Structure 1
Amino acid sequence: MKEGVDEQKDLTLSEVENTLVCCLLTSVDAPGLVSTLLHKEMFSDAALGFVFQAVMNLYEQGVQPDMVSVETEMRRMDEARWKELNGLSFLLTAMLNVRHGGNVQHYAQEIKRQYMLRCLAQLFVLLNIKSSCFDADPEAVISEAEDSLLKLRGEVAGSEPIRPVGVLAAEAVAWHRERLDGSYDRNRIRSGLAEFDYVTGGFHKGELSVLAG
């Protein structure tokens, strides 16, 4: 398999999808890089979309995906389909050609691009059929086209990468400890009442506190 990004144009969509899924199974960083770029419906191959969803389920739970954990998740999601695919065995040949996950975002962008083109092709065919009707309302067709295009744009819009719950929890605990130590806000003054300071963080500059007598 060619590894240069500029040479990826020679790959078919099927090869790109296979390679991306294999990267998710072998690269520690890959799931986080594509978690907000793709969803399972974007894959032209439903089997690969199924595997992708299993990987994302594990990643969102803070579990590092590997072949064993992904197979287990696939079986939990849909055992009949897992049996039909014979687990991940259909990916074994493709796995031999994947040496690193450095280009995973480029693969994801290509899958996303091809998905958008398929959606646009289907939309324009539908609009063509509706506009060919003798009693078609031009304004209604235009409105449907605008709504559909806006929906598609919103569906594929990127966002901040999903981060595992464990990482966010650790950051929240670290922030809370910094707040209690006073290093987070230099204007904070402790009241001397441990329970009060734990809940409120103490007193802050410009803050008015009313205590019951």
Structure 2
Amino acid sequence: MMAPTARSVETRERILAVAAEEFADRGYAGTSIGGIAERAGVGKGLVQYHFKAKVDIAVTLVQSAFAQAPFANVVSVNPPPRGVAAIVASIRAVSRAFRDNVRVRAAVRLVREYDIIPVVFPTPYVGWMAVMAQCLRDATDAGDIPPGLDFETEGWHLVATFTGVQETSQRLTQREDLPERIEEMLQRQLRLLGVIDPQRFL
């Protein structure tokens, strides 16, 4: 099997970039192979050469978005933050991705519309919840949070609270106010978790 040429790779990436914008703006039902082809400046047949069907494009975008560092790990800095610092860094990084990365926005909308898409997507957020739970364990071990938390439950609520904040911001301001709303959320959540001197981490 021949390796793809640089031009083929560039065309495939252009198709994905345009498809992400279409899915983010129009949703799955409102997006078509023909519309993607037109916006990408290529023939419909070329889109189908790279992706047999619309659902294959959707799957590719979702898989690539949820494999990105803010969700899979925390943040890609060396040395990585731990404990409360890692929670803050992770939530801020995912917030930036939701606001600034159209592929992430497309993936989030596609996962939300799972009931009309003929494929099983990865379950969203569960990996991130596990990361948050581990960060809470680390924070307790470091003495930054008093003992006694249910780490899995609190990790779930951290991610669920973020999800609600970003969704509300999307509905009301197209996520323009998301950075300030996330900072408000972090201040509230760190107080609720009993973080000792939360301003150290903000």
Q: Report the TM-score, using the length of structure 1 for normalisation.
A: 0.28
Relative contact order (alpha carbons < 8 A, sep ≥ 6): 1 or 2 greater? 1
Higher CA-based Rg:
1
